[in-house]
């Protein structure tokens, strides 16, 4: 039995409505959208401290090392990281977490399920609200958290309170039903009625309670996900759910699979501020603004603008808006978004349009994050490419070779330990080394500070799939 609350952080999704900053290769939860920490880091920190166990994180394979690195940056460690072979929506993910947690801590373990990309400014108030909801969860209810609405929002689902329930109460209330995202007229009616809350997608229950609900309402999911958990493998501390069994799990949200069918529901009202940052209009609302209502990043300037969001996400790139009203402008080195704030929910259409054109900007950031650090392409020509590569202290690239390219490495910060066939040597700042085509090579950072080098590739083919790996400390295939 566990007396602590176990945070379950859902860390998948692509966040297409926050393109171009959020992309499939590095979705919004890992970005620093609202301050010096990523949304994922802020979520993990918010659900920590007295009464909270270390978090369980559910994520995809490409993000597993980003999760561990970002937790390490805030001096936190997970109690478990479950790797989903593919995204199957929230119902299978939460079920997998419940099965895993029950096996570790027992059916009485309290689970607080939360997305990792929400903004909740008052962490202390939220933790107090969770504590107030805990007795109902321990008693066998499925507790969902409802946000006090302050506008007729059409981008959220709603929760209708049961007759006699109090939307301002400091304890869980009876819930009548879940309501789909409304149109503007219906949203205004629900706001005026006063007995509706926004559905935050945050839940509190014991592992045993939610497992019983799955067995009653989604038995087909239990079979598939149980097989995926039982067949899971481990490597480097990660728990990899069995792919074949996982593929048999239905792609469905927990709202549809469980919450709309269960009769042991309660809702915990929360009024101290929340946003799911579901679009750039939401980012504007949550950002600090000048007297004209403009929200500008450090490298953005508004001249005679009103109600506008101006953001530059690239060092050394200035964005200037002149005479703009209710616009959003987000600039990166490889893509720029310009649209009225009223069209914020259509940004995902841009991603679809770019995918149809075959543009890499649809899914790939200019900076490519790897377990050992990151790289970005500075110049690309017909038969050459120039990259900046940053390797974190103690990290190592795989032992590898290439069929179609040779490389020059020039260290500009730190020290690299370089292997080229049988030769191993240290390369320091302003020194270089040549990697002939076909040579077996590796780069490591043996130092205490990040190592930065410039890589010049030349050859007939420069794609990232021209890599033959012989050894890899990160167990990449």
My answer on whether 232 and 129 are in the same domain is yes
Same domain, 248 and 340: no
> Which domain does 427 fall in, by range?
367-471
Residue-wise burial string across 268-297, b where 16 or more C-beta atoms lie within 10 A, e elsewhere: bbbbeebbbbbbbbbbbbbeeeeeeebbbe
Conformational region of residue 6, where left means phi above 0, alpha means psi within -120 to 50, and beta covers everything else? beta
Considering the domain boundaries, does residue 477 fall inside one? Answer: no
Mark whether 208 and 259 lie in a shared domain.
Answer: yes
Last residue of a domain, one of 270, 297, 320: 270
The closest alpha carbon to 17, from 437, 343, 394, 261, belongs to: 343
Which residues of the chain register pLDDT less than 50? 1-2
> Using CA atoms, how far apart are residues 294 and 464, in angstroms rounded to an integer?
41
Decide if 362 is inside a domain: no
Q: What is the pLDDT of residue 328?
A: 98
Does 275 reside within a domain? Answer: no
Cα dihedral 69→75→78→84 (10° resolution): -20
| Integer-rounded Cα radius of gyration of the chain | 24
pLDDT of residue 135: 96
What's 72's domain CATH number? 3.90.550.10
Q: Which residue, of 333, 357, 381, is where some domain finishes? A: 357
- CATH number for the domain spanning 424: value is 2.60.120.10
The dihedral through the CA atoms of 49, 3, 71, 208 has a sign that is: negative
Q: Are residue 329 and residue 263 in the same domain, yes or no?
A: no
Is the domain of 195 the same as that of 308?
no
Q: Which long-range contacts (CB under 8 A, 24 or more apart) does 184-189 make?
A: 184/152, 184/154, 187/152, 187/153, 187/154, 188/152
In a domain, 476, yes or no: no
pLDDT at 350: 96
The total of other beta-carbon atoms located within 10 Å of residue 15's CB is: 24
Q: What is the pLDDT of residues 368-416, one digit of tens each?
A: 999 999 999 999 999 999 999 999 999 999 999 999 999 999 999 999 9
CA distances from 149 to 124, 127, 163, 275, 429 (A): 20, 20, 18, 11, 56
pLDDT reported for residue 477? 66
Model pLDDT, residue 212: 98
CB neighbourhood size of 264 (10 A): 15
11 & 92 share domain: yes
Residue 118 lies in a domain: yes
In this predicted model, what pLDDT tens digit does every residue of 219-268 receive, in sequence order?
A: 999 999 999 999 999 988 899 999 999 999 999 999 999 999 999 999 99
Do 322 and 413 sit in the same domain of this protein?
A: no
pLDDT at position 1: 36
Residue at a domain's end among 338, 357, 376: 357
- Number of folded domains in the chain? 3
């Amino acid at each position: 039995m566990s007396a602590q609350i176990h945070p379950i952080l859902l860390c998948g999704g692509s966040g297409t409505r926050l393109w171009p900053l959020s992309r499939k290769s590095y979705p919004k939860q890992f970005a620093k959208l609202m301050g010096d920490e990523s949304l994922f880091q802020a979520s993990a920190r918010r659900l920590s401290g007295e009464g909270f166990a270390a978090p369980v994180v559910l994520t995809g394979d490409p993000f597993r090392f980003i999760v561990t690195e970002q937790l390490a940056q805030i001096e936190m460690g997970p109690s478990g990281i479950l790797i989903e072979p593919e995204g199957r929506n929230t119902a299978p993910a939460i079920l997998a977490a419940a099965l895993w947690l029950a096996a570790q801590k027992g059916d009485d373990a309290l689970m607080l399920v939360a997305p990792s990309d929400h903004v909740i400014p008052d962490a202390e108030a939220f933790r107090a609200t969770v504590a107030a909801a805990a007795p109902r969860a321990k008693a066998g209810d499925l507790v969902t958290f409802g946000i006090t609405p302050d506008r007729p929002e059409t981008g959220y689902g709603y929760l209708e309170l049961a007759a006699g329930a109090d939307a301002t109460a400091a304890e869980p209330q009876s819930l009548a039903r879940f309501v789909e995202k409304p149109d503007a007229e219906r949203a205004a009616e629900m706001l005026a009625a006063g007995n509706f809350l926004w559905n935050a997608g945050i839940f509190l229950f014991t592992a045993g309670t939610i497992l019983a609900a799955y067995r009653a309402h989604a038995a087909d999911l239990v079979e598939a996900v149980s097989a995926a958990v039982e067949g899971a493998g481990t490597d480097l501390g990660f728990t990899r759910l069995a792919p074949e069994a996982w593929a048999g799990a239905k792609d469905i949200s927990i709202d549809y699979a469980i919450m709309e069918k269960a009769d042991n529901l309660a809702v915990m009202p929360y009024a101290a501020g929340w946003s799911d940052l579901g679009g750039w209009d939401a980012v504007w609302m949550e950002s600090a603004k000048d007297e004209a209502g403009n929200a500008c990043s450090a490298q953005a300037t508004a001249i005679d603008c009103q109600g506008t969001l101006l953001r530059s996400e690239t060092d050394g790139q200035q964005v200037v808006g002149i005479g703009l009203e209710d616009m959003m402008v987000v600039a990166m080195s490889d893509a720029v978004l310009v649209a009225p704030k009223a069209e914020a929910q259509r940004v995902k259409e841009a991603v679809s349009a770019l995918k149809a054109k075959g543009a890499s900007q649809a899914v790939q950031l200019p900076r490519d994050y790897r377990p050992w650090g990151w790289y970005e392409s500075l110049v690309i020509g017909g038969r050459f490419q120039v990259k900046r590569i940053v390797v974190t202290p103690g990290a190592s690239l795989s032992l590898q070779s290439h069929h179609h390219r040779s490389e020059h490495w020039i260290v500009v910060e730190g020290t690299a330990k370089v292997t080229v066939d049988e030769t191993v040597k240290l390369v320091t700042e302003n020194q270089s080394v040549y990697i002939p085509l076909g040579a077996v090579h590796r780069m490591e950072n043996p130092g205490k500070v990040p190592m930065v080098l410039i890589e010049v590739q030349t050859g007939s083919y420069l794609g990232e799939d021209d890599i033959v790996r012989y050894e890899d400390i990160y167990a990449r295939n």
